[in-house]
Amino acid sequence: MSPGILILIAMLGIGLLLFLVMGLRLQAFVALLLSSLFVAVAAGIPLNEIASTIQQGMGNTLGFIAIVVGLGTMFGEMLRVSGGAEQLANTLVRRFGQDRAQWALGLTGFLVAIPVFFDVGLIILIPLVYSLAQRTGKSLLYYAIPLTAGLAITHSYIPPTPGPVAVASLINADLGWVILFGAIAGLPAMIVGGVFFGKYIGGKIHVKVPEYMIIDAPEKEVAKDPPPFGMIVAIIAIPLLLILLNTVSGILLPEGNFVRNLLGFLGHPFTALLLAALASFYLLGTRRGYTPDEIQTIATKSLEPVGLIILVTGAGGVFGRVLVTSGVGDALAGIMAASNLPIILLAFLIATAVRVSQGSATVSMVTAAGIMAPAIEAGNYSAPMGGLITIAIASGATVLSHVNDSGFWLVSRYLGLSEKNTLRSWTVMETIIGLVGFLIVFLISFFV
């Protein structure tokens, strides 16, 4: 088939995916599989090879994703149940002082969302925002926007959350570079979109704590003995530092070097997150008075909500594999090369288009990575550039959150905002952090 026909098939496949998710409200996992089947048949993959192509795409993706997300989720749940997330927030607010509480909340969101999902982090920490707003008389947005900015950035930028892990797996990016560039781009984005914009919009829209949230707020689990601040930071830092050391050793030390091999083993995401999970079981569990049975229950329960995320991510891998096998990927790569647009800009634009169309940041990242993977593979980009492209995709999947995004409605309910004011605050904040993050990695790409 001609490249033009293959591109048309890819566009029809993406259109079908969006129609199934948005129009028919079909579950994203099933929609991705159906769209993959459509592209495979239309592009001429032999019928007897389609099933094996799907299996290969799913297996290659989940072999990495399932382990990383599973271990990260257990680690995050121990942090939540032990009271570690709240302790982190309260300590930072005390140390920064009430006048600089915005900075403390932004940093808290940034740290907490590394092991904890966005919605869980918001539910855990929103009472602190309520308390500060009632105590100072300031708008709820003054404190909530920095917190949600920190949570949203890490949710999209920093592994082991599913989005960046999925993108890194699909485009073969090194997680060490992803973490490094995610932090470099994410912290300034949190400051601009969270602290500065939060101060501005808090002065424009005065929001009080919604009465129904005070009345209907579910009772929180009371931690037996909240862990100390230093311990929490150290446990969160374990996997990040090990992965970064692995990346650095691969650059500075020769192949076969014992230290490089050791750090390569300890800094592999599987080992690093396993060590972090075990440390959380002991330090946040056993030493805080939890029995082995209680720890096992917490760890097992934490895996219940991630099954869907893992399957959707795997289906994104299937979509990408079908694009490669059918030749659509090569056609896309050729057109992208002929366009003369930087690969990092194309990655951002495609992720943005999918984000605006279907809503979910994680699904947008997975879909965009699947589309971009063949072009990235053909381009043979460096490891640092792979990390930058990952953050560019994450940035595109962050901007312009609106009514088709579950995060939009979660924030709207917890802050008691109308749809109009949610668009003026949350949507603008998401767009700012996505644009700032992208601009930073785009500028870095000229020097890599």
Cα→Cα distances 20→16, 54, 86, 163, Å: 6, 19, 39, 21
| Better pLDDT: 408 or 292 | 292
Residue among 68, 136, 53, 79 nearest 102 (CA):
136
Q: At 260, is the secondary structure helix, strand, or coil?
A: helix
Q: Which of 105-109, 276-280, 368-372 has the lowest mean pLDDT?
A: 368-372
Based on C-alpha coordinates, what's the Rg of the chain? 22
Distance CA 29, CA 181 (A): 29
Domain count, the chain: 1
Q: Tell me the average pLDDT across 424-433.
A: 93
Q: Which residues have C-beta within 8 Å of that of residue 101, sequence separation ≥ 6?
A: 93, 132, 143
Residue among 80, 163, 103 nearest 407 (CA):
163
Cα 310–Cα 315–Cα 321 angle in degrees, nearest 5? 130
> What's residue 20's pLDDT?
85
Helix axes 140-157, 428-445, angle to 10 degrees: 40
For residue 99, give the amino acid letter. D
Q: Which residues have C-beta within 8 Å of that of residue 200, sequence separation ≥ 6?
A: none
Q: Is the pTM of this model over 0.85?
A: no
Q: How confident is the model at residue 375 (pLDDT cuts 50, 70, 90)?
A: confident
Residue 202 structural domain: 3-445
For residue 126, give the amino acid letter. I
Residue 320 has pLDDT above 80, yes or no: no
Distance CA 46, CA 233 (A): 52
> What's residue 212's pLDDT?
63
| Better pLDDT: 431 or 68 | 431
> What's residue 254's pLDDT?
86
| Better pLDDT: 225 or 17 | 17
Q: Is the dihedral of CA 356, 358, 360, 362 positive or negative?
A: negative
Q: How many CB atoms lie within 10 A of CB 192?
A: 17
Inter-residue contact 406 to 358 (CB < 8 Å): no
> What's residue 224's pLDDT?
54
Longest pairwise C-alpha distance within the chain = 67
> What's residue 374's pLDDT?
78
Residue 313 has pLDDT above 90, yes or no: no
Residues 410-421 have pLDDT tens digits of: 788 888 888 888
DSSP state for residue 228 in the 8-state scheme: P
Q: Tell me the average pLDDT across 145-169.
A: 88
Residues 183-238 have pLDDT tens digits of: 999 999 999 999 999 999 999 989 887 876 654 444 444 445 678 888 888 888 88
> What's residue 222's pLDDT?
45
When mean pLDDT is compared over 307-321, 366-380, 419-433, the highest value belongs to: 419-433
What is the signed CA dihedral for 320, 321, 323, 326, rounded to 10 degrees?
A: 180
Q: How confident is the model at residue 153 (pLDDT cuts 50, 70, 90)?
A: very high
Distance CA 256, CA 397 (A): 39
> What's residue 386's pLDDT?
92
Tokens of 225: 């003995």
> What's residue 404's pLDDT?
67
> What's residue 219's pLDDT?
43
Tokens of 382: 């460096």
Q: Which of 279-293, 310-324, 359-373, 393-407 has the lowest mean pLDDT?
A: 310-324
Q: How many CB atoms lie within 10 A of CB 375?
A: 24
Inter-residue contact 441 to 181 (CB < 8 Å): yes
CA–centroid distance for 202 within its chain = 26
Q: Tell me the average pLDDT across 30-56.
A: 88
Q: Tell me the average pLDDT across 340-354.
A: 87
Residue 46 has pLDDT above 70, yes or no: yes
